[in-house]
Amino acid sequence: MTFLTLLLQAAPADYTQFLFPVAIAAVVYFFMIRPQQKRSADTKKFRQALAKGARVVTIGGLHGLVIELTEETVVVEVDRGVKLRFDRSAIAREVGTKAADAAL
């Protein structure tokens, strides 16, 4: 037999050996890595788009109203006269705005 016929006969088995690891890598990327990157990008956009008057919750569960913003920090009023300064990364989510609360 020639080398070419031996190579052609062995080729399907060689490809199937590499197909499974490639498929596993694709599944891991599309179901684990890519969604995490999207969540991270969305969170970064949210934190950059914070504005005064937004009602927010910190990662520690503290609810308050944003009253002052700098590039790195956020001042949140948690009660009348009680103001706390947080890093922007400590803001977990927005629960509403002052305008939306006034409409209710």
Quick check: pTM over 0.85?
no
17-31 per-position pLDDT tens digit: 788 889 999 999 999
Q: Which residue has the higher pLDDT, 36 or 4?
A: 36
Q: Do 97 and 72 share a domain, yes or no?
A: yes
The answer to whether residues 64 and 99 belong to one domain is yes
Confidence of residue 82 (pLDDT cuts 50, 70, 90): very high
In this structure, the answer to whether residues 4 and 44 fall within a common structural domain is yes
Nearest alpha-carbon partner for 83 in 75, 71, 91, 93: 75
Closest to 94 measured CA to CA, from 38, 39, 51: 51
The whole domain housing 23 covers 1-49
What confidence tier does 79 reach under pLDDT thresholds 50, 70, 90? very high
**Residue 32 scores a pLDDT above 70:** yes
Express each pLDDT in 47-78 by its tens digit.
Answer: 999 999 999 999 999 999 999 999 999 999 99
Are 39 and 2 found together in one domain? yes
3-state SS assignment for residue 59: coil
Asked if 64 contacts 76 with a C-beta cutoff of 8 angstroms, the reply is yes
Q: Which one is predicted more confidently, 47 or 16?
A: 47
- Average pLDDT score over residue span 83-92: 95
If asked whether residues 68 and 27 sit together in one domain, one would say no
